[in-house]
Amino acid sequence: MALSVADRAIGAIIGAAVADAAAQPMHWIYNPDELKEVLSDLEPCPEFRPQSANPFYRRTTGEQTCYGDQAHVLLESLSQCGDINVEDLTRRFYEFFGPGTVYDLPLNDPYRKKGGPKAVLPIDGPWRNASLKAFIRNVDAGKEETGCDVDCQIDGITKIAPVVAMYAGRPEMLEKVEKATRVTQNNDLCVAVTLAAARFLEHFILNGPDPSALGAVLAQLNDPNRQSPQELDRAVIAHISQVKDITLMLRLCAVFILNPDLFPALPGAFQGALHGVLTLNQLDEAVRDTMRRGGCTASRASFIGACFGAQVWQEQGCWACKTYPIFCLCTLLIEKLRRHGTGG
């Protein structure tokens, strides 16, 4: 039986969550030798490693990274408000990632000065990354624009699934994605690349599996009358076009492992994730493939999971049961889609 648009919308959010959790225990392994050793004990199924091998932080297997947690917070806000409510979203982000939370660890103090005692890694708990720390400082300072204006990492892409799922097929979808993104990342390149990612995810939610997705999104970006045009769209088109060159992408993936400065920075992180979406055929094999690349595996996996979840969401059962917030997500999603969500 063909999936409805509502089915694919639900699948996109569940897919992002399960993929993030699957990759979490192997997140941020940049050393090729260490990665090879960890994989040797897990192949051919490296997902949901029982003990974390993350060299920076440790969470229980099945829990989300900071990327998946941001998506969860965004989903809760949408469920309660029925729209992108910046005030509510700001409050929820601060309450989830701010003072007194599991993210409030000494090493990730937003006000921690550089040059202090050397950090002891990995820390026991989740990692509060650069944009979240800047967001907390901006909220504390009472700034109207709370997003970090210098951070250009993949956070925006990793948390868009709830927004795209709700607004797919509606002209305001990209406007809503930009609004949500700028709450924590007020950076133009970050927004432009995130909007391109949203176009891909929307295409899969509306159409299901489609080998012409890349051409369709490039056509949108080249349309002078496109929705939510960005000054950097021409650069984004060039970055997406590079993904068509598989040989180039394989070289880039090798660089990702060797140079941690490139990950999870944009546009390279998005290119790596998009490569997996366009060249592989199902969620599990694509997530496993990106995990074998090392680096910021979870961020790439979350976008890969969203795109494949929108195409084959019913195949996620065995991974979903290993993912901590998945049943809560399902409840919120079904309620949201019934009241405000995508039709189908």
Does 77 appear as a known binding residue? Answer: no
Residue 57: DSSP 8-state = E
CB atoms within 10 A of CB 339: 9
Residue 104, classified by CB atoms within 10 Å of its CB into exposed (0-12), middle (13-18) or buried (19+), is: middle
User: Around Cβ 87, how many Cβ atoms within 10 Å?
Assistant: 10
Residue 253, Cβ neighbours under 10 Å: how many? 21
Q: Which residues of 121-157 are buried (b: 16+ CB within 10 A; e: fewer)?
A: ebbebbbbbbbbbbbbebbeeeeeebbbeebbbbbbb
Enclosing H/E stretch for 136: helix 130-140
Residues that constitute the known binding site:
65, 299
Residues that constitute the known binding site for Mg(2+):
65, 299
